[in-house]
């Protein structure tokens, strides 16, 4: 596959997400692209495949683009229009379809390249940026930051996870604190440890302030 496709995909995604502020903006894709490249190089994966899947991983997102989600129409047509052969289109679409966290129904990607992309996407959901994205998402969806009487549901199925409209603090227990143990590659495991500790310290501080312990 020709490396020029990477520059074309960058331009395509940048334009597509220009007016998107819900936590899936262009800079999210750019951070995932960079982290995925770093992980792929360290893990010996096919870098161009990983980069292309990272760039396209949100263009048919279930929430952002429900009408193209099922058939991954945006990714498929971008790749086909730019002359990518069908077997590679399938490989990239498979990686994208395996990326998402969906509670206990989340999957371990079937290829090393998929593992790199999934880890990179998850690294961007944790740490300082992960905290910021969670509260931006909560605000965007009119969610309470926290409610002391609403407990997190720790083992939701795909259906339950998708329907859930819990508080943002619960999201940390329901997804974000689980991600470090779910990282596929040693490279991402290493990076995620510090980010996980930072998020846990943040939530501990948040609850201390809330409860008047500080």
Per CB under 6 A, residues contacting ligand ADP are 23-24, 63, 100-101, 121, 125, 130, 133-134, 137-138, 168, 171, 175-176
Residue 16 binding result from ligand ADP, Ni ion, none, given CB thresholds of 5 to 8 Å by partner type: none
Q: Which is nearer to ligand ADP, 115 or 133 (CB)?
A: 133
Q: Is the Cβ of residue 23 or residue 114 nearer to ligand ADP in the bound state?
A: 23
Ramachandran sector of residue 70 (left: φ over 0; alpha: ψ -120 to 50; beta: rest): alpha
Is 133 or 195 the residue whose CB approaches ligand ADP more closely? 133
Measured from the CB atom, the residue of 58 and 196 that comes closer to Ni ion is 58
CA 63 to chain centre: 13
Output the smallest distance, CB 100 to ligand ADP, in A. 5
In angstroms, give the least distance from the CB of 166 to ligand ADP: 6
Q: Which is nearer to Ni ion, 60 or 121 (CB)?
A: 121
Contacts 24+ apart (CB under 8 A), 107-116: 108/184, 109/184, 112/43, 112/44, 112/45, 113/40, 113/45, 113/46, 113/49, 113/50, 113/53, 114/53, 115/43, 115/45, 115/184, 115/185, 116/36, 116/39, 116/40, 116/43, 116/45, 116/50, 116/184, 116/185
- Which segment (47-55, 118-126, 162-170, 203-211) binds Ni ion by CB under 5 A? 118-126
Question: What is d(CA 28, CA 138) in angstroms, rounded to the nearest whole number?
Answer: 17
Binding of residue 174 to Ni ion (CB under 5 A): no
121 near Ni ion (CB under 5 A): yes
Q: Which residues bind Ni ion (CB under 5 A)?
A: 58, 121
């Amino acid at each position: 596959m020709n490396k020029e496709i990477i520059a074309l995909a960058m331009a395509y995604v940048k334009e597509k997400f220009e007016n998107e502020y819900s936590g899936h903006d262009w800079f999210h894709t750019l951070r995932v692209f960079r982290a995925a490249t770093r992980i792929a190089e360290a893990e010996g994966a096919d870098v161009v495949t990983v980069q292309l899947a990272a760039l396209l991983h949100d263009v048919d997102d279930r929430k952002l683009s429900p009408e193209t989600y099922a058939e991954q129409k945006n990714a498929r047509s971008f790749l086909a229009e730019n002359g990518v052969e069908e077997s590679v289109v399938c490989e990239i679409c498979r990686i994208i379809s395996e990326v998402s966290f969906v509670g206990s129904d989340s999957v371990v990607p079937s290829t090393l390249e998929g593992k790199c992309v999934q880890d990179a996407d998850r690294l961007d959901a944790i740490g300082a940026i992960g905290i910021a994205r969670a509260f931006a998402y909560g605000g965007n969806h009119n969610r309470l930051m926290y409610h002391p009487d609403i407990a997190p549901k720790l083992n939701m199925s795909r259906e339950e996870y998708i329907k859930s409209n819990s508080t943002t603090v619960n999201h940390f227990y329901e997804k974000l604190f689980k991600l470090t143990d779910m990282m596929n590659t040693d490279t991402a495991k290493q990076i995620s440890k510090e980010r996980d500790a930072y998020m846990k310290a943040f939530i501990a501080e948040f609850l201390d302030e809330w409860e008047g312990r500080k």
